[in-house]
Amino acid sequence: MCDFEEESAVALLDDLNGDGAIQLDLSSAKYGCKHYRRRCKIRAPCCDEVFDCRHCHNEDKNDLEINPIDRHDIPRHEVKKIICSICDTEQSVQQNCINCGVCMGNYFCDKCKFFDDDVGKKQYHCDDCGICRTGGVENFFHCTKCGCCYASSIKDTHRCVERAMHHNCAVCFEYLFDSTKNIAVLPCGHTIHFECVREMKLHHRYSCPVCSKSIGDMSNAWRKLDEEIASTPMPEMYRNKKVWILCNDCEGISEVQYHILANKCSGCKSYNTREIQGVPVSC
């Protein structure tokens, strides 16, 4: 019994600061949610309910069990009230609590009403995008035609597509512009989630789901097809058969020798082609 009391006294002394006040464990690991570590919650202006962050709100309010007419996303820029996770004081949006003074997030954006303790993400606010992004402002540029931020490494090589990320991913249908997942910019300029590109490759899909152009260098695949076609002669009745094809890569139209495996573009030598009916007017 005595040992227990001594240990309790030591623990209590460890919790006291110089003036005798009890020290609170303000480690962000205790607060926040699976999306962000921070010491505040938000009151949603749309439904007047309290959530840890906008993602928690959107997941809850777009659940399949919710009536479709009641599903909605939070208007992030309209958040007016936050609740301190330390003292439960509700207040206007600001970085430090007006009651206990705790910093509610080491990164704070007043425009986005956004808090996050993990500054290792190198968050920055892009005025042109109108939202906060991660990765460091020095590593990104904003393309005005595409309407989004891209890595500086593709500044001089990317193909512009107007409002390239202001749409749903063509694979998983999640809205891309403010997605927290990594985005892949394809050679054609269209964008989808990086994980969705990997999933496509696992299923041997190598063309853009939007425009059907090849999503990378396919020269090795075309070389293998050349070998397969060379070792697979067509039956006599098809050896003189020709078809018109449209190349998805170079958009050229050509008449080629038909083969059951694939038809090669006579222009760019791609096998990413499709048969078309009749003789094209342009020819």
**Quick check: 61 and 71 in contact, CB under 8 A?**
yes
Q: Residue 223 and residue 263: Cα distance in Å, rounded?
A: 13
**Quick check: 181 and 196 in contact, CB under 8 A?**
no
198 — pLDDT class (breaks 50, 70, 90): very high
The whole-number pLDDT of residue 239 equals 84
120 — pLDDT class (breaks 50, 70, 90): very high
The whole-number pLDDT of residue 213 equals 95
The whole-number pLDDT of residue 139 equals 95
Residue 20 clears pLDDT 90, i.e. is over it: no
The whole-number pLDDT of residue 199 equals 94
The whole-number pLDDT of residue 281 equals 62
Mean pLDDT of the chain: 87
Q: Which two tokens stand for residue 177?
A: 């512009």
Residue 236 clears pLDDT 90, i.e. is over it: no
The whole-number pLDDT of residue 3 equals 38
The whole-number pLDDT of residue 179 equals 86
Residue 26 clears pLDDT 80, i.e. is over it: no
The whole-number pLDDT of residue 78 equals 95
Residue 19 clears pLDDT 70, i.e. is over it: no
Rounded to an integer, the average pLDDT of 89-95 is 96
Summarised one tens digit per residue, pLDDT across range 142-195 is 999 999 999 999 999 899 999 999 999 999 999 999 888 889 999 999 999 999
Q: CA dist 91 to 79, 85, 99, 106, 110, Å?
A: 11, 12, 9, 18, 14
SS (H, E, C) 132-178: EECCCHHHEEEECCCCEEEEHHHCCCCCCCCCCCCCECCCCCCECCC
Rounded to an integer, the average pLDDT of 244-272 is 93
Rounded to an integer, the average pLDDT of 74-80 is 94
- Residues β-bridged to residue 143: 148
Q: Could you say which DSSP state residue 86 is in?
A: T
Residue 278 clears pLDDT 80, i.e. is over it: no
> Of 28 and 118, which is predicted with more confidence?
118
